[in-house]
Amino acid sequence: MQNFKYIGPFKQLLPMTGLPVKGALLDTQLSIIENAGILVRDDQIFQVGVYEDLLEEAKNHKAEIFRLEGNHVGLPGLIDSHTHICFGGSRANDYALRNSGKSYLEIAKAGGGIWDTVTQTRKASKEELIKRTTKLANRHLKNGVTTIEVKSGYGLSVDEELKMLRAIRDTDSQVSADLIATCLAAHMLPKDYNGSHEAYLYEIGEKLFPVLRKEGLANRIDAFVEESAFSAVQIAPYFEKARQMNFDITVHADQFSTSGSQVAVDFGAVSADHLEASSEKEIQLLANSDVVATALPGASLGLGCAFTPARKILDAGGALAIASDHNPGSAPMGDLLTQAAVLGTFEKLSNAEVLAGMTVRAAAALKLNDRGQLAAGYKADFIAFHTDNYQEILYNQGNFKPCVIWKNGAVAFDKHKH
């Protein structure tokens, strides 16, 4: 039996439909439905329109009425397309050292950095990882994020990567938000690995990839293409193996030095993430491809470095998603809405560009065509802000959070009841 619900009225509803995936956006391109309602059937949107016009339809379907009191603005649930929220330990010491003048690479060489988190994550049990990931996923949800990409990459051995990916899978079944797993076994060469970069990557491809397929643990393969991790030449056979096994590819690209975006384009990656070091050459390369450029303002704030050249990427005709990079080292804040608003200020992005970067364009960065918009047939993932003007959301620079969050048509969080 079908279950119908009718939610509204929203003073303004921004369905984020009809927007191109690539290129600059003007706020005038945003479709805004005044005094809107959303009719939900089971876990999908059945119809979106003017509240009074759809009310009779809702009654015909014997829909449960969820009436919003006061003024509200509605948006699709936010999508965070790049996070590392499954980890052990803390890197508070790294943060203090960076702010005292030490560089990211200096800290890594002294025993901090990614390897420190690897050590702590290996010590943690799968149950401890589930507990931490659940806590952070629920925090994201309360901030309006209904879909969260989560990477492995702090195990750096076949068994430890499997522990992480199984923890992500098990967490997904326990939380309201959807967790999209990505295998980042190519995060760096493990310090305890007795062999070359090439040998490590070959071993992961031969031993880990088949298990990912067999257990359905991840459909996405990521790698850190950087001087401190893996070179473009070293990573090529690894991505070729991933491509042969029909995994989607994504790349940590151009964070400190360039070459990663070229790899992303060469291998038809879904996204290239970071890009803080991208020059005009890389910007044009990405803009002329189908690779989604993903800005990670959380890393810029955490490291005190330049932002992704988001304005230039959009003006060149590129697709721009915005994600939090929530991780224990370089991006500990983990607040997507705050970071996106700050990026918009520094890069001079329109409201339409910022909101699209966290919804419809973030969905493209994960190859998800069932969310990021409010239209018939899409997932009933949407959020409400207590205001009569959508501009207030980014104007408050993250200090203004959604008051009600719906996931798959059900209320997953209601500020008034917490």
pLDDT digits (tens, 9 = 90+) for 360-414: 999 999 999 999 999 999 999 999 999 999 999 999 999 999 999 999 999 999 9
The 10 Å Cβ neighbour count of residue 315 is: 13
Q: Please, which pLDDT band fits residue 417 given cuts at 50, 70 and 90?
A: confident
Give yes or no: residues 273 and 346 share one domain: yes
Give yes or no: residues 109 and 49 share one domain: no
Q: How many helices (H) and strands (E) does the chain have?
A: 17, 16
**What is the distance between the alpha carbons of residues 326 and 398, in angstroms, rounded to a whole number?**
15
pLDDT at residue 106 in the model = 86
Q: Please, which pLDDT band fits residue 299 given cuts at 50, 70 and 90?
A: very high
Would you say residue 73 has pLDDT above 90? yes
Would you say residue 105 has pLDDT above 90? no
Give yes or no: residues 361 and 401 share one domain: no
Give yes or no: residues 346 and 379 share one domain: no
Give yes or no: residues 230 and 301 share one domain: yes
| CA contacts within 13 A on the Cβ side of 142 | 12
pLDDT at residue 418 in the model = 59
Give yes or no: residues 346 and 412 share one domain: no
Report the CATH number at residue 395.
Answer: 2.30.40.10
Domain count, the chain: 2
pLDDT digits (tens, 9 = 90+) for 164-176: 999 999 999 999 9
Give yes or no: residues 42 and 154 share one domain: no
Mean pLDDT of 188-217: 98
pLDDT at residue 13 in the model = 98
**What is the distance between the alpha carbons of residues 309 and 22, in angstroms, rounded to a whole number?**
15
Give yes or no: residues 167 and 191 share one domain: yes
**What is the distance between the alpha carbons of residues 212 and 217, in angstroms, rounded to a whole number?**
5
Mean pLDDT of 349-366: 98
Give yes or no: residues 90 and 179 share one domain: yes
Overall pTM surpassing 0.85 (yes/no): yes
pLDDT at residue 60 in the model = 94
| SS3 (DSSP) at 113 | helix
Mean pLDDT of 134-151: 98
**DSSP structure class, residue 362:** H
Give yes or no: residues 345 and 263 share one domain: yes
**What is the distance between the alpha carbons of residues 132 and 170, in angstroms, rounded to a whole number?**
12
Q: Please, which pLDDT band fits residue 222 given cuts at 50, 70 and 90?
A: very high
Question: Among the three residues 365, 382, 405, which one is the final residue of a domain in this structure?
Answer: 365
**What is the signed CA dihedral for 119, 121, 122, 123, rounded to 10 degrees?**
90
CA dihedral sign, ordered 253, 148, 371, 322: negative
Question: Among the three residues 365, 386, 408, which one is the final residue of a domain in this structure?
Answer: 365
Give yes or no: residues 210 and 63 share one domain: no
pLDDT at residue 301 in the model = 97
Would you say residue 334 has pLDDT above 90? yes
Domain housing 350? 79-365
Q: Determine contact, residues 144/78, Cβ cutoff 8 Å.
A: yes
Give yes or no: residues 223 and 236 share one domain: yes
**Number of residues that this document lists for the chain:** 418
**What is the distance between the alpha carbons of residues 170 and 312, in angstroms, rounded to a whole number?**
40
| Mean pLDDT computed over every residue of the chain | 97
pLDDT digits (tens, 9 = 90+) for 302-325: 999 999 999 999 999 999 999 999
Report the CATH number at residue 353.
Answer: 3.20.20.140
